[in-house]
Amino acid sequence: MRTRSSSNLVGESSPNPTTSNPKRRNRRRSKQPFSLEESPVDTMADQRTMAELLRAPIEGYAEAIVVPPILSEHFELKHSLINMMTSDQFFGLEKDNPHDHIRWFNKITSTIKYKDVPNSAIKLMLFPFSLAGAARRWLEKEPPRSILTWEDLVSKFINEFFPPSRTTNLRNEISNFEQRFGESFHEAWDRYKDLLRACPHHGFTELHQLDTFYNALNPTDQDSLNSAAGGNLLERSTRDVLTIIENKSKVRNSRNKSIVSQVKSSDVNSSSSSEIAKLTHAVNQQTSATLHDRYSQTISSNPTSSFRKSR
């Protein structure tokens, strides 16, 4: 009689492992050759050859600046406008100021008027012609269709060629401004205004600007401003102070010009007089020498007559 336990023992002591694990046998037999898996895009009908697929595309030349549609049918950029842009190009050098270039560009394009053509569209079309060198390469590297408005273009242009470090340096120069030794009032004022124009986004209020300039002057020019203000410049409004400074600068300018012209005219007169005196002296010397030679020749040719005359 076979017991339950003996049947289990017989199953466990089976010498053939493959017969005891049919799943492992089936897994080995089900291996298939390796093949590339294709994406749904690759399965689409594309009969191009590999050479055609690897060929450089002819698309992708979109410009960074997007010019809005122009409704005018007969609009075109004249060559004279393009030549005007290329006459004073911005190269992106360290000494170049992008703010000055934008001022010049706005001044030129503000005179261009076309019916049904926005001025901003004209600016977007003409601005690339005003760039050269590093500035043109910068614009070419901008992502396609990334500049949609004139404001976008100005913002990217200024941030590229007027970095924060340059702003910091100019702000320090404005805050630490001082009148130089021997520098006149109008020269100091012109130099101070040049610093403000070089960094229009300096962030200083008009009060701070005028206070900085006044404290940078020597005591003589400070007293002169106080006298022009009627005693104390600080008791006047900022608009009045600016007017007083501008008027004082113009007066000093005109006086210096008149003094310089007087000095130049006096120099010319004095030099002319000295030249005339030199010429007169030279002529007198030449005349005296000629008369002396003639007299000497007369004496040598007739010594008796000269002796009689002397007696």
pTM: 0.59
- pLDDT greater than 70 at residue 15: no
pLDDT 10s digits, 59-92:
667 899 999 988 887 888 888 989 999 999 999 9
DSSP the chain: ---HHHHHHHHHT-S-HHHH-HHHHHHHHT-----PPPPTTTTS-----HHHHHSPPS-----SB-PPP---TT----HHHHHHHHTT-B---TT--HHHHHHHHHHHHTT--BTTB-HHHHHHHHGGGGB-THHHHHHHHSPTT-B-SHHHHHHHHHHHHS-HHHHHHHHHHHHT--PPTT--HHHHHHHHHHHHHH-TT----HHHHHHHHHHHS-HHHHHHHHHHTTS-GGGS-HHHHHHHHHHHHHHHHHHHHHHHHHHHHHHHHHHHHHHHHHHHHHHHHHHHHHHHHHHHHHHHH-HHHHHHHH-
Calpha distance 305→299 (Å, rounded): 8
Task: Report yes or no: 139 and 92 within 8 Å, Cβ to Cβ.
Answer: no
- Residue 62: CB atoms within 10 Å: 11
The residue ranking higher by pLDDT, 98 or 304, is 98
pLDDT 10s digits, 39-67:
555 545 678 888 888 887 766 678 999 99
Task: Report yes or no: 153 and 127 within 8 Å, Cβ to Cβ.
Answer: yes
Quick one: average pLDDT of 113-133?
93
- pLDDT greater than 80 at residue 164: yes
**Residue 281 φ then ψ, to 5°:** -65, -40
The pLDDT score that the predictor gives to residue 257 is 43
CA dihedral sign, ordered 182, 186, 187, 190: positive
Calpha distance 243→161 (Å, rounded): 34
